[in-house]
Amino acid sequence: MQRWLTGRQTPKSLDKDAFAALPRHVAIIMDGNGRWAKAHRLNVAMGHRQGTETLREIIRHTDDLGIGALTIYAFSTENWRRSAEEVAALMQLILDFFASEIDELDEKGVRILILGEKDALPPKQRDVLTEAETRTASNTGLRLNIALNYGGRAELTRAARRLAEKVQAGELSLEDITEDALGGELYTAGQPDVDLLIRTSGEMRLSNFLPWQCAYAEFVFPEALWPDFTVADYDEALQVFASRNRRFGGRP
């Protein structure tokens, strides 16, 4: 198994301009594990396992580049619809991933945050995730957000309810319900909006991922299936991002 490396050089496939215009927050929909497994005549669980190898490389590269925040979509609120066997394999991968990566991540100063409803996960997974968050809470390096049992609509509904509770308790008035107030009740409170959204495998949809945070994100859809997605593909997406003209509704 490939381990974390340190002191990596500036990527050759990323030119100076792209390096100067890196996104502050990258979000990735890691899609295509199932198709990868099928193409290799393997069980879908092996596709997910191979996907975690890609994930390790992509986290490392994000950290090397000095990008501030990375949010990855690991399991959606809709992914419970998959077979019990596949869900179990994904749950096991959570344990394996943290067992093998948490020391290195912590050493690198990565701060881990889980986006999503942890309480609905099996107790072991819940504990491991909470432990990873607690252990890395005061780290000041890359912010690694892992969307797990996450749904954008669920997140927004939860935020609305939390605001309503505060109004009901008399802590907040209706005028206080602003975009900032709502953003402050999201899992990503205090973090910048997503600048670049990458979805691998050629699919071009959001699948309930960060609808609020991606309001002005640039979207890039590489063809590679997630287990095949390389650091060079990632650099290419960053290069594309740097070439985009972001207007935010204005007329520059």
Q: How far apart are CA 171 and CA 191, in angstroms?
A: 24
Dihedral angle of Cα 28, 75, 102, 212, to the nearest 10 degrees: 50
How many other C-beta atoms lie within 10 A of the C-beta of residue 217?
A: 21
Nearest approach, Cβ of residue 149 and ligand IPE (Å): 10
Q: Is 233 a known active-site residue?
A: no
- Binding to ligand IPE (CB under 6 A) within 25-44 occurs at 29-35
Sign of the dihedral through C-alpha 121, 157, 24, 13: positive
Residues sharing a CB contact under 8 Å with residue 125, sequence separation 6 or more, in sequence order: 91, 94, 95
Choices 75-83, 109-117, 138-146, 177-185 (CB under 6 A): range interacting with ligand IPE? 75-83
60 binds ligand IPE (CB under 6 A): no
Looking at residues 223 to 242 of the shown chain, list those that interact with Mg ion (rule: CB under 5 A).
Answer: none
- Cα 31 to chain centroid distance, Å, stands at 12
Over the window 15 to 54, marking each residue x when it contacts Mg ion by CB under 5 A and - when it does not, the resulting string is ----------------x-----------------------
The site for ligand IPE, by CB under 6 A, has a size of 17
| 86 near Mg ion, judged by CB under 5 A | no
Q: Answer yes or no whether residue 229 interacts with ligand IPE by CB under 6 A.
A: no
Alpha carbon distance 68, 232 (integer Å) = 20
Q: Which CB, 80 or 165, lies closer to ligand IPE?
A: 80
Q: In Å, how far are 136, 226, 250 from 245, measured between CA atoms?
A: 36, 27, 11
31 is catalytic: yes
Please state, in angstroms and rounded to a whole number, the distance separating the CA atoms of residues 159 and 172. Answer: 14
Which of 27, 65, 70, 74 is the binder for ligand IPE (CB under 6 A)?
74
| Largest interatomic CA distance in the chain | 59
Q: Which is nearer to ligand IPE, 15 or 96 (CB)?
A: 96
- Which stretch in 24-32, 168-176, 212-220, 244-252 sits in contact with ligand IPE by CB under 6 A? 24-32
Nearest-approach distance from CB 73 to Mg ion, in angstroms: 10
Q: Which residues of 80-104 are buried (b: 16+ CB within 10 A; e: fewer)?
A: eeeeeebeebbeebbeebbeebbee
Residue 220 tokens read as 């890039």
- Regarding 242 and contact with ligand IPE (CB under 6 A), the answer is no
Determine which residue in the list 40, 205, 244, 246 makes contact with ligand IPE, applying CB under 6 A.
205
90 binds ligand IPE (CB under 6 A): yes
Binding site for Mg ion (CB under 5 A): 31
Binding site for ligand IPE (CB under 6 A): 29-35, 73-76, 79, 90, 201, 203, 205, 207
